[in-house]
Amino acid sequence: MTINSIDIGITLKKVETLLSEEKGLSPAMRSMVEMLVLLVTLMVNRLNRNSRNSSKPPSSDPNRKRERKEKGCRKAGGQKGRVGVTLEKVDKPDKVEVIKVDRRKLPRGEYKEAGYEARQVFDIEISRIVTEYRAEILEDNEGDQFVAPFPKGVTKAVQYGTSVKEHSVYMSQYQLIPYKRIQGYFREQIGMPVSEGSIYHFNQEAYDLLETFEEKAKAALVTSEVLHVDETGINKNGDKYWLHSASNRLWTHFSPHEKRGTEAMNSIGILPKFKGILCHDHWKPYYTYDCTHALCNAHHLRELTAVWEEDKQQWAKEMKTLLEETNRAVKDAGGLLESSKSEKYRQRYRSIVKNAETECPAPDETNRKGKRGRVKRTKARNLLERLREYEDDVLRFMDNKNVPFTNNLGENDIRMTKVQQKISGCFRSMEGKNFFCRIRSYLSTCRKQGVSSSQALKMLFRGELPDFVRS
């Protein structure tokens, strides 16, 4: 790393060389200098962390440069064969305005109607609609009255309609807009008073209506062939909680819990029953479950990059290249390698791991300070031992077409949770966390199943659920 034209790595090596050559330093001074060198090294390593060599998002990279693409030979605009998004005329417009020719401005003569040239303008109307239901009351000769029944759901003298509820929940749980701003939208754009308390109750109603969906989602995930799991910290008024995610290509389930480990996952109830292939980032509690495991290689690539850049260990660079090459080969083969090719990659993998022992040896177990536990490993050594001990889990994507190279599906599903935290800061209550998790699970699942979020909420508040939930 270079700071103000000073190469920190070279400078630190010079200091270490001087320390080894200087024999007149007192033990205290030598120890202090060594401590300073260690601190500088740790700080430099931390500064070097970015999205390529750690789990940090690209947005956190300092002085992030956007790569400029070389100017190609293609013309500007949409290319041939591209499926674009554009307006198309509709057969039945909502409103038709006929524009007549001002015959007073025409030359003298006789004219006949030859047809019309049509142009359509797409626009929206945002307005309040108040529907008053008047139920007829009939009274017989004896004074008994008979009142016509109001439509289902019309139970109060004044109430909000389903569209207001749909819109509120869509903005709060899908677009992640805070309650106060939703309140302002209804007031300023529509002229309708909607309190934050009402928005809260709309979300509560959606939550209650989705109990059946949650049971269906958990059952579907338990029986899936491949399951992606992840967890992330969430904040409730300053208290640390955890959001647990389980998902596949068609279903998503989020659940909040005060714990991160097996106690939480057992209470959720998906993993204890799951017997398929579990994709994750090697967090050890996942290995307490009796199923087949597949590890996320996106994490391995970032860790290998860090080992190469920080420690200059050649084996890490070779392993990163091999994993990337293997992934390309699997894609080119349509998702599954022939057994002979798979075995060749596996042998190369083992060779790199074996040769790495020289460059990244295990610590001396005899040099321990205490009798308990094992001697602390470096990050590079921990990574090497993981790659050796969990070879099958690292390379499972080679032998099973349904196992991906990464756990990106699970991480993408959970990403919007972090967006919500950035916007709102924290959840105000446990109920708020529960609302978010169940409703977001439903909306994510609907998106995967081809149902838009707005349509999904419209169906929900009208007492319906999509076919995939009812089947």
386-419: pLDDT as tens digits: 999 999 999 999 999 999 999 999 999 988 887 8
What's the pLDDT score for residue 29? 77
pLDDT at 235 over 80: yes
User: How many other β-carbons are positioned within 10 Å of the β-carbon of residue 319?
Assistant: 26
Mean pLDDT (whole number) for 425-433: 81
What tokens were used for 148? 């016509």
Q: Give the model confidence (pLDDT) of 187-211 as tens digits.
A: 999 999 999 999 999 999 999 999 9
What's the pLDDT score for residue 21? 72
Q: Would you give the distance in Å from CA 353 to the centre of its chain? A: 32
Contact 445, 250 (CB under 8 A): yes
CA distance 18 to 402: 56
pLDDT at 163 over 60: yes
CA distance 341 to 344: 5
> 243 forms bridges with which residues in the sheet?
232, 256
CA distance 431 to 197: 13
Among the listed ranges 68-82, 266-280, 390-404, which one has the minimum average pLDDT value?
68-82
What's the pLDDT score for residue 50? 61
Give all strands (DSSP E) within 216-267, no chain letters: 226-236, 239-247, 252-257
Share the mean pLDDT of the chain: 88
What's the pLDDT score for residue 406? 96
What is the reported pTM?
0.79
Mean pLDDT (whole number) for 64-90: 69
pLDDT at 2 over 70: no
Going from the C-alpha of 264 to that of each of 245, 280, 309, the distances in angstroms are 12, 16, 37
What's the pLDDT score for residue 14? 77
What's the pLDDT score for residue 332? 95
The confidence band for 86, taking pLDDT boundaries of 50, 70 and 90, is: confident
CA distance 278 to 225: 9
Percent of the chain scored above 90 by pLDDT? 68
CA distance 47 to 306: 12
pLDDT at 281 over 60: yes
Among the listed ranges 53-57, 79-83, 219-223, which one has the minimum average pLDDT value?
53-57
CA distance 316 to 37: 24
Residue type (1 letter), 289 = Y
CA distance 398 to 388: 17
CA distance 438 to 98: 50
What's the pLDDT score for residue 55? 57
